[in-house]
Amino acid sequence: MAITKLEQMLDLVRQKPKKTLVAAYANDSHTIEAVSEAIDMGIVDGTLVGDEKVIQQVCKELKIDASKFQIIHEPQESKAAAKAVALINDCKGNLLMKGLVSTDKYMKAILDKEKGLMNPGAILSHVTVVENPHYHKLLIVSDVAIIPAPDIKQKVAIANFIITIAHGLGIEKPKIAAITATEQMLPGMPACVDAAILAKMSDRGQIKGGVIDGPLALDVAIDKESAEIKKVKSEVAGDADGLLFPNIESGNVFYKANTKLAGGEQCALVMGARVPCVLTSRGDSAKAKLFSIALGALIAQ
């Protein structure tokens, strides 16, 4: 059965085999607190790569028993990220997590052609699960952080990542809206053309595991009344599980408006590498990071 709250994900992941998380440059209190709580909940075993002295001090301040972690000393930010990736490649972890390391250094370690986590031809995308108090279920949205202007090949990959996350959350046949500025098929608007292609690929089984419709404006995708007023007949309209945004600007604005204006909660992963990679903001709460760990553990192999 599909879950409708992020909190429910914690119970779901505890039913799965425990995974091992490796946190890159885990010198900050939010990362350590989130990994500690995940360990206490039986979700993961945790390895922290970073400045051991700093990690021990943070644990002392938070009154966390540092012995619950495997701590690997590497005080330099870029080297800590590279070491965390190396541990994954050495089969010593199933899940990577960003700590205090900057996003560019974290991504550089993942994307390294010789020592990173990418298979040839793989596409990376950022996928977020949103819990909004004004929507009746969880929303899976992408891409809000990595691909500035995805082409049709990248949008197909994004759709498949959304479907993978949805299946992990118990949604058997996720409904994905290819979002544009309008629900009308306007040939002069490239986003509408791509949305129509994705919808037809879904119809013909070229994208499996869910149903995609588009072009759909945001109001039509998530509000049944808007869909009825505009006379849009669609399995997806008004009940979307996933939102595939046409570019990073629209996705990122939605992502931030969800928390800053709507009081929503969310968690996020980078998909497309050999393992799920937790990518949250350095300013995100420990709770958001805990939910992201749970999501990663839920879909990690």
Domains of the chain in start order, with CATH, are 6-121+275-299 (3.40.50.10950), 125-260 (3.40.718.10)
Which tens digit of pLDDT belongs to each residue from 60-81? 999 999 999 999 999 999 999 9
Region 275-285: mean pLDDT is: 80
pLDDT attached to residue 288? 85
Region 124-152: mean pLDDT is: 96
Q: Residue 191 above 80 pLDDT?
A: yes
Burial of 133 (0-12, 13-18, 19+ CB in 10 A): exposed
Token pair in block for residue 204 = 């013909």
- Residue 289 binned pLDDT confidence (cut-offs 50, 70, 90): confident
Collapsing DSSP to helix, strand or coil, 265 comes out as strand
Which residue spans within the chain are E strands per DSSP? 19-24, 44-50, 70-73, 95-98, 125-131, 139-142, 175-179, 211-216, 242-244, 265-271, 277-278
pLDDT attached to residue 285? 73
C-alpha span between 298 and 38 (Å, rounded): 12
- Residue 301 binned pLDDT confidence (cut-offs 50, 70, 90): confident
Region 255-280: mean pLDDT is: 92
Which tens digit of pLDDT belongs to each residue from 164-177? 999 999 999 999 99
Which tens digit of pLDDT belongs to each residue from 192-216? 999 999 999 999 999 999 999 999 9
Query: How are beta strands 265-271 and 95-98 bridged, if at all?
Result: unpaired
Which tens digit of pLDDT belongs to each residue from 28-58? 998 999 999 999 999 999 999 999 999 999 9
pLDDT attached to residue 259? 86
Which tens digit of pLDDT belongs to each residue from 210-227? 999 999 999 999 999 999
Termini Cα distance of the chain: 21
Q: How far is CA 100 from the centre of its chain?
A: 18
pLDDT attached to residue 280? 77
Which tens digit of pLDDT belongs to each residue from 93-112? 999 999 999 989 999 999 99
pLDDT attached to residue 7? 93
Mean pLDDT taken over the chain: 95
Burial of 186 (0-12, 13-18, 19+ CB in 10 A): middle
Contact 258, 266 (CB under 8 A): yes
- Residue 279 binned pLDDT confidence (cut-offs 50, 70, 90): confident
- Residue 283 binned pLDDT confidence (cut-offs 50, 70, 90): low
What 3 state SS string does 86-144 have?
A: HHHHCCCCCEEEECCCCHHHHHHHHHCCCCCCCCCCCCCEEEEEEECCCCCCCEEEECC
Which contiguous run of DSSP H or E holds residue 299?
Answer: helix 286-299
pTM, to two decimals: 0.93
Neighbours of 120 (CB within 10 A): 5
pLDDT attached to residue 282? 60
